[in-house]
Amino acid sequence: MEYWKDEPNWVKRFMHGSFELNASLCGASVVKDTIWTKLAIRQFLKHMNNIQQPTKKQITLYRGSRVLSPTMAAPCFDMSNCQFMSATKAHSIAKEFAGKDGFVHVFKCYKGVAVYDLEEIYKGEPVAREKEVIIYPGCHLHFTKKVGNKVYWDLTSGV
C-alpha cells in the first residue's frame, strides 16, 4: 500500500499490482483490501486510454507463461483478452518467463492493436531489459499453430 501512495505513475502502479486489477477486469471478485477501488480502476482506464499507442504496422511480441493460454481464460482457437497482458519485444525474455516447461506465445500484432511500450517509463532502470509492452484488453487472439513450446497467435483489434 505504501508503494501505491508514493508512486504517482499509473503504469508503474499497474505493474506493481496488476493481478488484482486484471482479475477485476475479467469479472473475478478480489479481496476487499485492494488498491484497485472502483474509482482507481476508472482513473487508470482513463489514463491508459489517453496514452495508448495503436500499432501502426504489424509487429511481433512475445509472452512467456507456465500455461498454454496467454490469457486468464482457458485456451481455445479464438478468444479475446479481458485484461491487460504483459508482453516483450525480446524472445529471450519470454523464454525466461516461460521457464523450462512453460510456453512462449508469439503474437503477430496487426495494425491497430492497442499497446503501450514501457521503454520510456523504465529507461535506465534494471527492469528495462525486459523490453515490456502492455497489450490492451479487447484484442481478438486467433491460434495459428503450436511448434514445441511455441504457441503462435494472430492479434487484431477488437474494435
Question: Alpha helix (H) ranges present in 7-153?
Answer: 10-16, 18-25, 38-51, 91-98
Residue with cell string 495508448: 52
Global confidence as pTM: 0.92
Question: Above 90 in pLDDT, residue 28?
Answer: no
What's the pLDDT tens digit per position in 88-146?
999 999 999 999 999 999 999 999 999 999 998 888 888 899 999 999 999 999 999 99
The residues that bridge with 61 in the sheet, in sequence order, are 107
Q: What angle do CA 132, 35, 85 make, to 5 degrees?
A: 25
**54-159 CATH choice from 3.90.176.10, 2.30.30.40, 3.30.1380.10, 3.40.50.170:** 3.90.176.10
Instruction: Output the pLDDT for position 133.
Output: 97
Outline which parts of the chain fall under CATH 3.90.176.10.
54-159
